[in-house]
Amino acid sequence: MIFKKKLDPLQIIAFQTYGTNRHFYAKGRALEDENIDLSNKGFWKLLINTWKRFETDEVGDSPIDIHLPNGKVIKARTDSEGYYLADEELEDLEEYANEEGWLPYEVTYDTSGVDPTRIRENRFPGEILIPPATAEFGVISDIDDTILHTGVVSSLKWQVIFNTVFKRPEKRTPLDGAAQFYHLLHRGKTGEGSNPIFYVSHSPWNLYRYLELFLKEHNFPKGPILLRSFKSFLNRKKVVEKPQKQKEILNILETYPNLNFILIGDSGEHDADIYIEIAEAYPDRILAIYLRSVKHRKRMMRVKGLFKSYETVPVLLAEDSKQLFSHAFEKGFIADPGH
């Protein structure tokens, strides 16, 4: 008797992205549904979950439909790794966004290109952020060791591996005061604004849902989460082109030419170098650079040296969130954090 392998059902993960009133930009990934439960506990269950997140079964070269609230349907197709991208010039998208600027849409498989029996429910929700015209500024933030303890500067990265594999999102530790600070920036100097927050990381897209749940569980403002492909994550060879993280930040700046930004990162990896290069290219649009200090003497000395006589934009190397609150209030970015 020949036993056939049971095929997993299909899903589509629509990433939270960003656009404008006339620019619809949606990205996501079509995958087999491995039934990953991010609330699972126990050594083996956590290990299996991590394996499933990285050993993905992509649905490549598959036609999909993106349904907008106004009834318009955008046709797209996944690539060999299951990713899709819809980049369309449209009209009056703001009409369908909520007061925070989020525009909902749905993604469905075109069942002519896949086995319809593998689809439980062919409706997968997505959102893009269209910052309101009233936004005072935008915030572009790193994730690792900026808002989430990862141990990225630990010896041989052992702590990064341990935290990613054996800790559930709700059990991960956010940096003290980080969520409150981001909410203050989101609401701006009036305390009633809706400034966009963009989360940009070197982490691979395989961790998207993990990071999305972490931000939600720890009450960070909702914002687009921009990661990179696992293939580029594994490629450690030096390349001439700019890092994906830097490309994403530059794309945000170009998408919103009339919006100024605050850049937030840490002193552990390459945030300082990337942010300096961006600030030099856009000196009138970068309001401030905030870098959280890390417990690594050599890296801190290097970063302090970079900013020793730097005057292009205001820079703060922060030991704790209180320093961030104080500086941001002094510069008029946030309302009084004491009220």
Do residues 16 and 198 lie in contact, with contact meaning Cβ atoms separated by under 8 Å? no
pLDDT of residue 311: 83
**Predicted confidence band of residue 155 (pLDDT cuts 50, 70, 90):** very low
Asked if residue 303 has pLDDT above 50, the reply is yes
Region 166-190: mean pLDDT is 75
Region 19-43: mean pLDDT is 75
DSSP 79-123: -TTSEEEEEEE-S-GGGGS-TT-EEEEEEEE-TTSS-GGG-S---
Other beta carbons less than 10 A from residue 163's beta carbon: 19
Tokens of 27: 């990205």
252 vs 229, more confident: 252
Asked if residue 161 has pLDDT above 80, the reply is no
pLDDT of residue 297: 60
Asked if residue 243 has pLDDT above 90, the reply is no
pLDDT of residue 337: 85
Q: What are phi and psi of 190, to 5 degrees?
A: -85, -20
Asked if residue 18 has pLDDT above 90, the reply is yes
Which residue type sits at 115?
D
Asked if residue 233 has pLDDT above 80, the reply is no
**Predicted confidence band of residue 188 (pLDDT cuts 50, 70, 90):** very high
Asked if residue 24 has pLDDT above 60, the reply is yes
**Alpha carbon distances (Å) from 253 to 90, 125, 312, 314:** 20, 27, 17, 18
Q: How far apart are CA 320 and CA 279, in angstroms?
A: 23
Q: How far apart, in Å, do the first and last CA atoms of the chain sit?
A: 72
pLDDT of residue 49: 47
**Predicted confidence band of residue 169 (pLDDT cuts 50, 70, 90):** very low
- Gyration radius of the chain over CA positions: 21
Asked if residue 46 has pLDDT above 80, the reply is no
**Predicted confidence band of residue 56 (pLDDT cuts 50, 70, 90):** low
pLDDT of residue 232: 44
pLDDT over 70, % of the chain = 76
Asked if residue 100 has pLDDT above 80, the reply is yes
**Alpha carbon distances (Å) from 27 to 64, 87, 230, 252, 292:** 12, 9, 15, 15, 30
Q: Which residues pair with 76 in a beta bridge?
A: 64
pLDDT of residue 96: 96
**Predicted confidence band of residue 170 (pLDDT cuts 50, 70, 90):** very low
Dihedral sign of CA atoms 298, 300, 304, 307 in order: positive
DSSP 237-266: S--SSPPHHHHHHHHHHHH-TT--EEEEEE
Region 304-324: mean pLDDT is 84
Residue-wise over 219-254: b if at least 16 C-beta within 10 A, else e? ebbbbbbbbbebeebeeeeeeeeeebbbebbbebbe
The residue behind tokens 């009056």 is: 92
Region 257-263: mean pLDDT is 97
**Alpha carbon distances (Å) from 98 to 101, 156, 188, 258, 280:** 5, 45, 19, 21, 35
- Which residues, in sequence order, are CB contacts of 18 under 8 Å at separation 6+? 25, 128, 129, 130, 131, 196, 198, 224, 252, 255
Asked if residue 316 has pLDDT above 50, the reply is yes
Dihedral sign of CA atoms 298, 304, 198, 219 in order: positive
Q: How far apart are CA 33 and CA 53, in angstroms?
A: 10
Region 75-97: mean pLDDT is 94
Tokens of 72: 């318009």
Do residues 49 and 40 lie in contact, with contact meaning Cβ atoms separated by under 8 Å? yes
Asked if residue 266 has pLDDT above 90, the reply is no
For β-strands 124-129 and 83-89, DSSP reports them as unpaired
Q: What is the mean pLDDT of the chain?
A: 81
Q: How far apart are CA 127 and CA 18, in angstroms?
A: 8
pLDDT of residue 153: 41
Tokens of 100: 């925070």
Q: Which DSSP symbol is given to 42?
A: S
Residue-wise over 72-89: b if at least 16 C-beta within 10 A, else e? eebebebeebbbbebebe
Q: Identify which of 84, 45, 59 has the alpha carbon closest to the alpha carbon of residue 9.
A: 59
Region 284-296: mean pLDDT is 85
